[in-house]
């Protein structure tokens, strides 16, 4: 007897395949972001050497991307609400792919930095749309499965970025040296763009009444640019008029941004959140911890390559214990530890990070530049565990006192502050490293570690002001 498949079953299977395809596309976009945020950690010395960019180029490669991403991330989400997530996703991935091509073919440092800024800006348009698209298109069960996959995929991407950079530079594909670390995005980006055109649901009914505070975003952008440019220019070429004026401008524009936040009808961050002690203390701890951690990861890579003369591919493998510890601890934290221990887990993570940094400091003080990767591996793993526990836990715990209607704004604020903190940390700790390098790279590494230890230790008392426990349910 022949039986016909029920039309409803066929529709359900098609719907299921479509949801999985959308999930794959969103994960691809997020993976591209994480990889491009970390890929220059390994590649920076090679790029600076071939383009004659010097210390200044090394200092700007990471912060240029993170600065644009952090400033525009919240705006990108608002634009998606206003004009439709599908449209912004297509613009974001198309622009990101084009900017990657420009970065890969850049003949000089100026164009490369401009391309990195463009990558971050288009990434800020792209990344917020994925979660909104899934929330609209997925049923509850599929949404739960999707959230469960984000951690592993993004964790692997954070490990894969430096490893990919080391592999591509080491194999010197077609004699292109570092350029394939950006050019590979052309293949992935075009594939993602074609896929997005075909499968993303149309949403031409965006809410045009959504207000996007462009003034606040502009003030924040000038604030960060002024502070970072002044810091990098001053530490590279001396503290003359230009860096002093740049930092002063940054401070003045920050004051204007703060005033705008208090007076705007639709501020980027809800005023009630800024009055929430648990949230603001969590924001401060996040800023300090992410800045210190990101800066540390960058200078460790520089020390391995410039001080210990390890190849880019060897450096990427040498940092695997750190990234493995980071990913494993992050999964453990979000797998139940944060719900059980709350802010205590933040304190534990930062303390473990301090132990790992102190361990490396002792090794560098004793052996100088005669260290081997195997000697550093256990300490690197401890640092990774500390960073993984704290980075994964701080934003979640900080939302413990937030009201349901504040959760979206709070989450977006933390995403932005993490990117901006990464930019600040990369620039600041790298500047300290190069300033101290005149007395030798071992001395520079010790000074960098001492700065990271001091800043991280200062954040520990603030942890006590964070909410005691994380919210029982996301966004609750």
Q: Shortest CA distance to 394 belongs to which of 305, 283, 311, 315?
A: 283
Per-residue confidence at 400, pLDDT binned at 50, 70, 90? confident
The answer on 248 and 197 residing in a single domain is: no
pLDDT tier for residue 67 given thresholds of 50, 70 and 90: confident
Instruction: Please report whether residue 191 resides in a domain.
Output: yes
Residue-wise pLDDT for 350-390, tens only, equals 999 999 999 999 999 999 999 989 999 999 999 999 988 88
pLDDT band at 13 (very low <50, low <70, confident <90, very high): low
Identify the CATH number of the domain in which residue 78 sits: 1.20.1250.20
**How far apart (Å, rounded) are the C-alpha atoms in residues 327 and 20?**
24
Pair 197, 86: CB distance under 8 Å = no
pLDDT tens per residue across span 227-280? 888 888 887 777 889 889 999 999 999 999 888 888 887 777 777 777 888 888
Q: Identify whether residues 344 and 275 lie together within a single domain.
A: yes
Residue 34 lies in a domain: yes
Same domain, 191 and 138: yes
Q: How far apart are the first and last CA of the chain?
A: 53
Number of domains in the chain: 3
Residue 2 located in a structural domain: no
Q: How much is the average pLDDT of 136-154?
A: 71
Distance separating alpha carbons of residues 122 and 133, to the nearest angstrom: 17
Helix (H) / strand (E) containing 220: helix 214-237
On whether residue 5 sits in a domain, the answer given is no
Residues in contact with 343: Cβ distance below 8 Å, sequence separation at least 6, in sequence order: 397, 463, 464, 466, 467, 468, 469
The H-assigned helical ranges of 52-108 are 54-83, 85-105
413 and 328 both lie in a single domain:
yes
Q: Looking at the structure, do residues 218 and 182 belong to the same domain, yes or no?
A: no
d(CA 138, CA 23): 9
Q: How far apart are CA 168 and CA 100, in angstroms?
A: 16
* Residue 97 maps to a domain: yes
In a domain, 306, yes or no: yes
Last residue of a domain, one of 242, 265, 288: 265
Both 296 and 280 in one domain: the answer is yes
Report the distance separating Cα 298 and Cα 441, nearest Å. Answer: 14
Residues 24, 168 share a domain: yes
Return left, alpha or beta for 6; rule: phi > 0 is left, psi -120 to 50 is alpha, else beta. Answer: beta
Q: Are residues 251 and 204 in the same domain?
A: no
- Give the separation between CA 300 and CA 348, rounded to whole angstroms: 22
Instruction: Provide the residue range defining the domain that includes 64.
Output: 12-209
């Amino acid at each position: 007897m022949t039986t016909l498949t029920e039309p409803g079953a066929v529709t359900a299977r098609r719907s299921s395949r479509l949801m999985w395809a959308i999930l794959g596309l969103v994960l691809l976009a997020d993976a591209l972001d994480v990889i491009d945020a970390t890929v220059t950690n390994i590649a920076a010395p090679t790029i600076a050497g071939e383009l004659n960019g010097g210390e200044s180029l090394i200092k700007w490669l990471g912060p240029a991307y993170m600065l644009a991403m952090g400033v525009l991330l919240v705006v990108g989400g608002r634009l998606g609400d206003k004009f439709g997530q599908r449209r912004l996703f297509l613009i974001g991935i198309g622009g990101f792919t084009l900017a990657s091509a420009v970065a890969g073919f850049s003949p000089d440092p100026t164009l490369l930095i401009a391309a990195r800024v463009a990558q971050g800006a288009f990434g800020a348009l792209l990344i917020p749309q994925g979660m909104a698209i899934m929330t609209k298109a997925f049923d509850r069960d599929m949404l739960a499965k999707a959230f469960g996959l984000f951690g592993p995929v993004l964790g692997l991407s954070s490990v894969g970025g430096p490893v990919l950079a080391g592999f591509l530079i080491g194999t010197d594909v077609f004699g292109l040296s570092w350029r394939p670390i950006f050019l590979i995005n052309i293949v992935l980006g075009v594939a993602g763009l074609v896929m997005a055109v075909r499968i993303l649901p149309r949403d031409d009914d965006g809410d045009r009444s959504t207000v996007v505070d462009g003034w606040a975003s502009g003030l924040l952008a000038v604030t960060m640019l002024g502070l970072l440019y002044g810091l990098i220019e001053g530490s590279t070429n001396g503290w003359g008029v230009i860096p002093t004026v740049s930092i002063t401008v940054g401070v003045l524009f920050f004051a204007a941004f703060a005033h705008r936040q208090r007076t705007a009808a639709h501020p980027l961050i809800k005023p009630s959140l800024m009055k929430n002690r648990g949230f603001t203390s969590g924001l401060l701890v996040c800023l300090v911890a992410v800045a210190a951690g990101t800066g540390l990861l960058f200078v460790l890579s520089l020390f391995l390559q410039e001080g210990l003369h390890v190849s880019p591919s060897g450096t990427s493998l040498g940092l695997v214990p750190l990234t493995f510890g980071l990913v494993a601890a992050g999964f453990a934290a979000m797998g139940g530890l944060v719900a059980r221990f709350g802010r205590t887990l933040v304190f534990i993570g930062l303390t473990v990070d301090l132990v790992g940094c102190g361990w490396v400091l002792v090794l560098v003080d004793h052996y100088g530049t005669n260290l081997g990767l195997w000697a550093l591996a256990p300490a690197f793993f401890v640092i990774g565990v500390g960073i993984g526990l704290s980075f994964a836990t701080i934003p979640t715990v900080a939302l413990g006192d937030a009201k349901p209607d504040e959760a979206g704004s709070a989450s977006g604020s933390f995403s932005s502050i993490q990117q901006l903190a990464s930019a600040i940390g990369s620039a600041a700790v790298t500047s300290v490293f190069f300033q101290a390098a005149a007395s030798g790279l071992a001395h520079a590494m010790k000074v960098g570690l001492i700065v990271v230890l001091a800043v991280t230790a200062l954040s520990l008392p603030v942890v006590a002001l964070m909410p005691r426990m994380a919210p029982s349910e996301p966004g609750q």
